[in-house]
Amino acid sequence: MKKNEILENISVDKLIFGGKGLAVAPDGRKIIITGGVIPGSVVNLRILKVKKGHFEAQIVDTVKKSPLEQELPAHYQVYGGCKWLPIAYKEQLKIKEEQVREAFHYVEKYWQESPEKTPVFHPIVASPEIYGYRNKVEFSWGKYISEKEGVYDTFRFGFHAQAQFDRIIDCDFCVLADDEINAIFKEMNEYSRKSGLPTYDPKTNIGFWRHFVVRKAHFTNEIMLILSINHEFEEYNRKHEGDILIFAGKLMEQFPHIASIYLLQNSGRADIVTGEAILMKGKPTITEHLLGKTFEINPKSFFQTNSLGAEKLYSVVRDLMKTQGGTLLDLYAGTGTIGILLADRFEKVYSVELVPEASKDGAKNALKNGATNITFINDKTENFLPKFLAENSDIKNTSLIIDPPRDGMHPGALPEILKFNSKEIIYVSCNPATLARDLDYIFANSDYHLTDIIPVDMFPHTHHIETVVRLEK
């Protein structure tokens, strides 16, 4: 079997973490399948890569639908992010729970030797809302030109196609976004198409429209719009600047929840939402509430994208953490949400975060919530920990919250966390594989054991999964 060969009538066995499918080829080798895979379906595949022990392949067409597949309203379409939309939600939860269980096989040897240390594996916590749950959606403008497919479309507005960064798919309606976000998107779509201004092309650095980010605070309904454009595009500066301001004013009248509109000036070629944010209309921040605390969100703030789901996640963390008093180290803190929610239980909290803007926002949010015992430290966790230990060698009664990005903890940070001798560690992870890897290090080098494992689904219809675990001595 070789590249581009078609494999017919292949049954998809299951989904593996990252959203790829797993099947077995006629010669017994494994096939890893990309693109909208549904376990239980029978598909025809094209081989993309031949590796030593497996193939990588892409679905060409579906021969037989999976019994897990559900009928959806006609306007519910799968664009880039919501690949699992055709799978019934209760099946999605089962798949995610199973993926977390599988990741833990890697470390179960540690409790097989002493079964009294077997952790409780709790049922997965579902997202309170499964449609319209996103409080932030990022739309992109672009073009799609393909001689092979006979497509010459110079104006598209919607989402990037999965793993095809030069291809935008027009979108009518995003099922993960709130209705008001969809309605505003529709207005922006009509306005930009009629404007006569072209979409930005990173290859030539010519064009105008780039990204449109809509944020809506779930609990206050306040909306922020961030319109990212190439401000160096000459035609805009000659004629259109005033038009866009008028349009922004009309949008605010039409959608009274819009509290803030920014223009993001971006003339860099990279396809990222960046640049100088200029407030065009309204106030600089919108306000969100989580578990009774107040958070101000500015155009560049990191904030969990599912507010109701974040309340579930943080409640799990709050309930699992048993310690009262002493010092809390909130590592990989973002804007300090977890530290702020737990601050009243501790004498002192240190929230450590790499991104300076997030640390600054966190410090402001802490004060807003009267949490005067939190210090925000803008540093890498792996650099902060040895310095902190050297300066506070006699520190006792320290608890740790660890919430790293997908890659897990830096190898330099792992030995440091063990030096605190904390009674309790809560690890929040968005990647069960790196969580298992880090736990393996911790178990092999200390006498911690796991008490609880709780998967939490914050992102229905996507492959993403959060896991919260509690370790104790």
The binding site for ligand SAM (CB under 6 A) comprises: 302, 304, 332-334, 337-338, 352-355, 358, 380-382, 403-405, 410, 430
Dist. CA 74–CA 80, nearest whole Å: 17
**Do residues 30 and 43 make contact, with C-beta atoms less than 8 angstroms apart?**
no
Least distance (Å) between residue 227 CB and ligand SAM:
25
Query: Residues for the chain: how many in total?
Result: 473
Dist. CA 165–CA 145, nearest whole Å: 13
Least distance (Å) between residue 369 CB and ligand SAM:
15
Q: Which of 212, 216, 160 is nearest to 189 (CA)?
A: 212
The residue (of 11 and 305) whose beta carbon lies closer to ligand SAM is: 305
Tokens representing 37 are 């895979």
The residue (of 51 and 387) whose beta carbon lies closer to ligand SAM is: 387
Within 10 angstroms of residue 101's Cβ, the number of other Cβ atoms is 14
The residue (of 398 and 429) whose beta carbon lies closer to ligand SAM is: 429
Signed CA dihedral, 259, 263, 266, 271: sign only = positive
Tokens representing 382 are 């792996």
The residue (of 333 and 442) whose beta carbon lies closer to ligand SAM is: 333
3 state SS of 270: coil
The residue (of 199 and 298) whose beta carbon lies closer to ligand SAM is: 298
82 is catalytic: no
Strand order across the 14-16 sheet = 6-11, 42-50, 54-64, 30-34, 20-24, 14-16
The residue (of 135 and 381) whose beta carbon lies closer to ligand SAM is: 381
Dist. CA 466–CA 428, nearest whole Å: 7
Give buried/exposed letters for 281-295 (b at 16+ CB in 10 A, else e): bbeebbebebeebeb
Residue least distant from ligand SAM (Cβ): 334
Tokens representing 417 are 């966390």
List for the chain the helix, strand, coil content (%; round to 5).
25, 35, 40
Least distance (Å) between residue 367 CB and ligand SAM:
18
- Which residue do the tokens 């990204």 mark? 211
Dist. CA 412–CA 469, nearest whole Å: 21
Q: How many helices (H) and strands (E) does the chain have?
A: 11, 23
Helices (H), 255-354: 307-320, 337-342
The residue (of 304 and 323) whose beta carbon lies closer to ligand SAM is: 304
Active site members: 430
